[in-house]
Structure formats: C-alpha cells, structure tokens
Chains A and B, each alone.
Chain A
Amino acid sequence: GAGVSQSPRYKVTKRGQDVALRCDPISGHVSLYWYRQALGQGPEFLTYFNYEAQQDKSGLPNDRFSAERPEGSISTLTIQRTEQRDSAMYRCASSGHLTGSEYNEQFFGPGTRLTVL
C-alpha cells in the first residue's frame, strides 16, 4: 500500500486477555517505531526497530509488552494479560533510510484504538 497500515483499527478486549497489534510499514522502510498516545497528549515512545533488530525498548511500560519484526517488515506489538490502564491509541510509524534526507520523516499509521474492559 501507499502508507503505513495498522490492524485492527479498533480492539475491545477483556482484562487479562492477550492482544496482538499489527503494523505494516511503507515498503522498503528501514525503521519502524511504536508509540502509545493518550487523548490530548503527544505520542509516547515505546520501542523501535532498524530492519529486524530491536534497537531500543526502553519505553515499553513493563514485561507484559513486547514487540517483534522478524523479517524486517511487518511488526507486531503484543500485550499480555491486558489491564484497563493499557487502554489507549497505539500508533506505528516508519521512516526510510538511515542516511540522507529521507530518513528524517516518520510516516504514521492510523493507529489501533485498544479498549480493555
């Protein structure tokens, strides 16, 4: 596709269930970022990848959160044993190359709205 896509767009789950959120970056983009965004706030960094390597996961709130990008393209953010405080918009972004001007711009996906009941 032309842009970053995320699925599902909306996810409602019960407390204690596991959820997997998918991000499909722009084809060929090297870097992929995961953010969480509360209403009225800026995106909160969770983790990012260059190719398939997870470069920084310091923003993951706790060990219930994990992410992978096994083939350097599609990424999955998994939340185990969900809690109500996990309810938020989860956004993915990708950017192009590691050098040159193209890497400067991040393209954001539409996000997944997660609601934990």
Chain B
Amino acid sequence: GQNIDQPTEMTATEGAIVQINCTYQTSGFNGLFWYQQHAGEAPTFLSYNVLDGLEEKGRFSSFLSRSKGYSYLLLKELQMKDSASYLCAVRDRGYSSASKIIFGSGTRLSIRP
C-alpha cells in the first residue's frame, strides 16, 4: 500500500522557525517533493530530495531519511505570507524518471503576528 502522513494543522509565530514532518510508506521510492499551496491557488514547487540529507534553499530547507521513510520541511524567519498548506509528495517507483507521484493530505500552517 501507499501512505503519506503529515500533521493536519500547525500554528507558528511570525519570525520563528517551524518544522513540518512527513512519513511515508510506498511501494517504491524515487524522490520526495514539498509543495506550497495558498488557499484557492495551485500548488507550487518548493523542494525535491532523492538522496539522504538536508537541502537548503533560502528560508526553506528539506531533509530526507530514506531508511526511516521520513522527511521534514523547515521554514525559518516565518512571514505572514507563509500561511498556506504544505504538501509532501513521493515519486513512486517507475522505469523512467517521470512516474506516478502520490501526495499527502497537506499540513495547514497558520502564522500569527
């Protein structure tokens, strides 16, 4: 089976740091994505991890541990505009690099002043 788990909601304070966790169990693994989705808008790409370790991109970092089936998205120096849903997604095993992608239900992050 395929299962991706992430918290439903989180709240954090402007200027602080927040970590959104994601655990997955999939039949195959060929990379993990994080997307941001503001209410009423399309998801937009944040990060991609295929090897273990931390990928840093500005205020956002993403970590992957394949042996543990675990990832997290770290957001630093939170801004009000970071209020959004954050989607964890796993690329399933495929014979090519482009293959089926399974999304979690998303974590709705609210930033308070």
* Chain A interface residues toward B at CB < 8 A: 30-31, 33, 35, 40-45, 48, 50, 55-56, 58-59, 91, 95, 98-99, 103-111
Contacts and interface: CB of A to CB of B under 8 A. Distances in A.
Interface stretch (B12-20, B58-66, B71-79, B92-100): B92-100
Contacts of A40: 105-106, 108
Interface of B: 31, 33, 41-45, 48, 87, 89, 94, 96-106, 108
A111 B43 CA distance: 10
B48 A104 contact: yes
B42 A106 contact: no
B97 A43 contact: no
Contact of A42 (B42, B44, B48, B89): B89
Contact of A30 (B44, B98, B108): B98
A44 B96 contact: no
Contacts of B96: 50, 98
A33 B102 CA distance: 11
A42 B105 contact: yes
A70 B99 CA distance: 19
A45 B42 contact: no
B98 A43 contact: no
A110 B105 CA distance: 19
Contacts of B99: 48, 55-56
A105 B45 contact: yes
Contacts of A95: 98
A98 B87 contact: no
Contacts of B94: 55
A31 B101 CA distance: 12
Contacts of B98: 30-31, 48, 50, 55, 95, 98, 103
A38 to B, nearest CB: 9
Contacts of A106: 33, 45, 101
Contacts of B101: 33, 45, 106
Given A55-B100, A58-B100, A91-B43, 12 more contacts: A30-B98, A40-B105, A40-B108, A44-B103, A55-B98, A55-B99, A56-B99, A103-B98, A106-B33, A106-B101, A108-B44, A110-B42
